[in-house]
């Protein structure tokens, strides 16, 4: 029988900071809209995550750090005791299955709708600039609402929201947390001069625009310690909200990444290109050069397939690779990649808010005919 197993160290154990992984295939954060109005994870969510526990690391779907941080209906939260208890069932089940899971901490900033905000208040942002995009509400996708600029005296409260969420995630039994500083949500809105027109100490210079991210990283690493906090950045994405790039991507992100080295993070995680759309980057940007400024481990993501993953790994450009959409419809993605088994594509309609359908009903492959080194019991 042919040897279907693929030889690369992508399927061998590694560590990201203090988090030990069975393999270098990471499940990227995927919002699926299968929680309830209160943001409390349920049994369906437990089943979904456990089905994918053979990933070296699962990064949870983006999880709201507060009621104000919410921009999409049916997304989970991590600021109430009920939410902590719901997540605990997931982390315990993942650990029993031999997997690892970190929580992605999320504040959407301007990417929200008044229907999703407490008392139908305006979403908050660095500046009152509306995104050109839609969010998933209880009435389907709707255009985002006009945000209001945060007052300077409110910003310590945002850092406090991250700190509280980080503490809750710790009590919920996660292996670590990932700070969501990508895809044009609140933290990236502060970083980019296209979305931040402030004149206080959180706007203007690169140092000022990076200040909130660094304050959040400091607060969260204070809760979690060394090697348990990762960060996701997307230097050249225009997703979501058709957000323009920073006017000097290399200077802005170089400064940020060099500052991040002070914190002994578990990893840096990049969306390489335009999220879910393209791996292309503008000519003036060199993502590998940015990545190389970081002292710790690196996760690459965006439109990877196995060939790209193997060659980027062989070139020493990535420590691990995160797959998003392939994990939706291939719960056993690691085994399928390792054994060269064809992948199933998930139609877009299955992505958000449809209950069990298109969520926990994707079968594992039939390993009966596959080389024994690949076969799964
Ligand atoms: C349905 C769906 C939900 C997503 N949710 C999140 C999320 O919660 N947090 C995040 O940082 N990115 C999110 N993304 C982006 C993915 O993590 C990933 O960057 C993107 O899909 C590109 O990777 P892929 O080509 O392997 O799918 C989402 C993408 C999709 C398709």
State how far the alpha carbon of 6 is from the alpha carbons of 198, 271, 281, 312, 322, in Å: 51, 25, 30, 15, 18
Neighbour count for residue 74 (Cβ, 10 Å): 17
For residue 355, count CB atoms less than 10 angstroms from its CB and return exposed for 0-12, middle for 13-18, buried for 19 or more: exposed
Q: 227: which 2 tokens?
A: 């090697």
Q: How far apart are CA 300 and CA 320, in angstroms?
A: 7
**Residue 325 CA, ligand 1 centroid: distance in Å:** 7
Beta strands 57-64 and 25-27, pairing class: parallel
Q: How far apart are CA 369 and CA 348, in angstroms?
A: 31
In a domain, 99, yes or no: yes
DSSP 305-352: -HHHHHHHHHTT--SEEEESHHHHH-TTHHHHHHHTPPPPPPPGGGSS
Q: How far apart are CA 73 and CA 94, in angstroms?
A: 25
Contact 167, 80 (CB under 8 A): no
**Residues 196, 32, 377, CA angle at the centre, nearest 5°?**
135
In a domain, 362, yes or no: no
In a domain, 368, yes or no: no
- How far the first Cα of the chain sits from its last, in Å, is 19
pLDDT per residue as tens, the chain (377 positions): 344 456 799 999 999 999 999 999 999 999 999 999 999 999 999 999 999 999 999 999 999 999 999 999 999 999 999 999 999 999 999 999 999 999 999 999 999 999 999 999 999 999 999 999 999 898 888 999 999 999 999 999 999 999 999 999 999 999 999 999 999 999 999 999 999 999 999 999 999 999 999 999 999 999 999 999 999 999 999 999 999 999 999 999 999 999 999 999 999 999 999 999 999 999 999 999 999 999 999 999 999 999 999 999 999 999 999 999 999 999 999 999 999 999 999 999 999 988 999 999 999 998 877 766 676 54
Ligand 1 atom with minimal separation from the 322 CA = 26
Q: How far apart are CA 338 and CA 130, in angstroms?
A: 44
In a domain, 361, yes or no: no
Q: How far apart are CA 88 and CA 25, in angstroms?
A: 23
Probe ligand 1: pick from 25, 31, 141, max atoms within 8 Å of CB? 31
Q: How far apart are CA 148 and CA 7, in angstroms?
A: 52
Query: What letter would DSSP give residue 70?
Result: -
Q: How far apart are CA 335 and CA 306, in angstroms?
A: 12
The CA dihedral of 258, 272, 177, 226, to the nearest 10 degrees, is -30
Q: Ligand 1 pocket: which residues have CB below 6 Å?
A: 28-31, 61-62, 104, 180, 182-183, 232, 271, 275-276, 301-304, 323-326, 351
Q: Structurally, how many domains does the chain consist of?
A: 1
In a domain, 369, yes or no: no
CATH number at residue 336: 3.20.20.70
What is the per-residue pLDDT across 64-98, written as a single tens digit (0 to 9) for each? 999 999 999 999 999 999 999 999 999 999 999 99
Question: Which domain does 277 fall in, by range?
Answer: 14-350
In a domain, 65, yes or no: yes
In a domain, 337, yes or no: yes
Ligand 1 atom with minimal separation from the 182 CA = 11
In a domain, 363, yes or no: no
Probe ligand 1: pick from 30, 60, 230, max atoms within 8 Å of CB? 30
CA 117 to chain centre: 22
């Amino acid at each position: 029988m042919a040897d279907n197993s693929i030889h690369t160290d992508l399927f061998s154990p590694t560590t990201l900071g203090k988090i030990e992984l069975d393999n270098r295939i990471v499940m990227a954060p995927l919002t699926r809209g299968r929680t309830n109005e209160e943001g409390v994870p349920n049994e369906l969510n437990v089943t979904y995550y456990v089905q994918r526990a053979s990933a070296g690391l699962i990064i949870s779907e983006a999880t709201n750090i507060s009621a104000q941080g919410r921009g999409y209906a049916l997304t989970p939260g991590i600021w109430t005791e009920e939410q902590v208890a719901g997540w605990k069932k997931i982390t315990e089940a993942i650990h029993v299955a031999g997997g690892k899971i970190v929580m992605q901490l999320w504040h959407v900033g301007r990417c929200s709708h008044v229907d999703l905000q407490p008392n139908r208040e305006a979403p908050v942002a660095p500046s009152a600039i509306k995104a050109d995009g839609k969010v998933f509400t209880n009435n389907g996708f709707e255009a985002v609402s006009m945000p209001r600029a945060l007052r300077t005296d409110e910003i310590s409260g945002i850092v406090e929201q991250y700190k509280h969420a980080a503490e809750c995630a710790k009590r919920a039994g996660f292996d670590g947390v990932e700070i969501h500083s990508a895809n044009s949500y609140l933290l990236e809105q502060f970083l980019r001069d296209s979305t931040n027109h402030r004149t206080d100490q959180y706007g203007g210079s690169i140092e000022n625009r990076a200040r909130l991210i660094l304050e959040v990283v400091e607060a969260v690493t204070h809760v979690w310690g060394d090697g348990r906090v990762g960060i996701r950045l997307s230097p050249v994405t225009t997703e979501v909200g058709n957000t323009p790039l920073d006017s000097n991507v290399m200077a802005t992100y170089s400064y940020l990444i060099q500052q991040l080295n002070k914190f002994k993070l578990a990893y840096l995680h990049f969306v390489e290109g335009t999220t879910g759309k393209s791996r292309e980057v503008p000519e003036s940007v060199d993502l590998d050069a940015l990545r190389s400024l970081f002292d710790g481990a690196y996760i690459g993501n965006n439109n990877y397939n196995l060939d790209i993953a193997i060659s980027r790994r062989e070139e020493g450009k990535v420590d691990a690779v995160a797959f998003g959409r392939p994990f939706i419809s291939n719960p056993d993605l690691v085994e399928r990649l390792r054994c060269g088994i064809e992948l199933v594509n998930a139609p877009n309609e299955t992505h958000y808010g449809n209950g069990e359908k298109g969520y926990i009903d994707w079968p594992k492959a039939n390993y009966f005919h596959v080389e024994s080194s690949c076969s799964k019991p």
